[in-house]
Amino acid sequence: MNRLISSTVISFLSIFSFGQSALIKQLDPLEFNQQIASGQGTLLDVRTPSEFSNGHIKDAGQLNYYAFDFKQRFLMLPKDQPVYLYCNTGYRSQKAAEILTKNGYTQVFNLQYGIMAWNLKDQPVIVEPDAKPDGVDKIEPDEFAAFIDNHSLTLVDYYAPWCAPCRQMISVIDSLGEDYRDQVSVIKVNADASSKLVKEQRISGVPYFVFYRNGEIIFTHSGLISREKLGEVLSSAL
């Protein structure tokens, strides 16, 4: 009996969660731009102040998703107007959008794949005069091309400092880099700092891994991946 009740509760929660997500309208960059051009509603960037300063959509407000009072301030938005949300990859803005729909908001729009997709479509951004670009693990396209052309095997780890899954992968990449240091070269690319390269390679999300042999791609993976799986890929290429 208890097992039946538990199954029913789980099924209900799954349906409820799906229903909330279905209320969120996912827009590609061109659709998003068209919608916000009307000037109606609220356009909100839910990234950190530093990310915002280094490139945001015109007329966007900013509210840090990671701030302790985010939800309290976020729910002060009027419910009778559209809310347009974005972040770097669409993950934080999706989570923020779910907060709104769970609290009775019905006009919620999310920029699918975030400002990384926006940049790929050459949509304009505003860079603040006092912006301080992140220079850690910044790689320009010509440096990148020269590196992979001059190394037989290269594993590229695209990450962002704010990305929790990227942080989870740090120990995996570092340990594999140590295990294969005489056979495989590892490059860490800060996607925020290396915007030209990211756009050229059409990277729309992090973490993202690319394995090259003599300059040719032989493996790609988006998102978390186990050490065992990535190790198998590296071993099979040797």
Q: Does residue 163 carry a catalytic annotation? A: yes
- Give yes or no: residues 11 and 115 share one domain: yes
- For residue 105, pLDDT over 90 is answered with yes
Residues 109 and 173 in one domain: no
Q: What is the pLDDT of residue 170?
A: 94
The verdict on 8 and 89 lying in the same domain is: yes
Average pLDDT rounded to a whole number, residues 141-162: 94
The verdict on residue 42 lying in a domain is: yes
- Number of structural domains (the chain) is 2
Which SS3 state, helix, strand or coil, does residue 70 take?
helix
Q: What is the mean pLDDT of the chain?
A: 90
CATH of the domain at 18: 3.40.250.10
Q: CA separation (Å) from 148 to 82, 154, 176, 210, 234?
A: 46, 6, 18, 11, 16
> Helix 91-102 vs helix 2-22: angle between axes, to the nearest 10 degrees?
110
Q: Which domain range does residue 85 map to? A: 2-120
Residue pair 145/200 in contact by the 8 Å Cβ criterion:
no
* pTM confidence score: 0.76
Task: For residues 206 and 153, state if they share a domain.
Answer: yes
Does residue 87 carry a catalytic annotation?
A: no
Is 127 contained in some domain?
Answer: no
Question: Do 15 and 111 share a structural domain?
Answer: yes
pLDDT digits (tens, 9 = 90+) for 179-221: 999 999 999 999 999 999 999 999 989 999 999 999 999 999 9
Residue 126 resides in a domain: no
Residues making up the chain, counted from first to last? 238
Of the candidates 36, 148, 163, 197, the residue annotated as catalytic is 163
Measured N-to-C along each axis, helices 227-237 and 164-179 cross at an angle, to the nearest 10 degrees, of 40
Residues 156/200, Cβ–Cβ less than 8 Å:
no
Q: Which residue is listed with tokens 């009996």?
A: 1
Whether 81 and 189 share a structural domain: no
Q: With 90 as the cut, is the pLDDT of residue 135 above it?
A: no
Out of 115, 166, 172, 230, the active site residue is 166
Q: Are 27 and 111 found together in one domain?
A: yes
| pLDDT for position 4 | 47
Measuring CA to CA, how many Å separate 204 from each of 5, 31, 155, 168? 41, 17, 18, 19
Neighbours of 55 (CB within 10 A): 21
State whether 150 and 218 are in the same domain: yes
Q: Among 73, 91, 120, which residue terminates a domain?
A: 120
Helices (H) and strands (E) in the chain, counts: 10, 9
pLDDT of residue 131: 87
Report whether 47 contacts 111 (CB < 8 A). no
pLDDT in tens, 18-58: 455 678 999 999 999 999 998 899 999 999 999 999 999 99
Q: Are residues 115 and 162 in the same domain?
A: no
Tokens 């993976």 found at = 221
CATH number of the domain to which 188 belongs: 3.40.30.10
Using one digit for the tens of pLDDT, what is the confidence trace for 50-81?
999 999 999 999 999 999 999 999 999 999 99
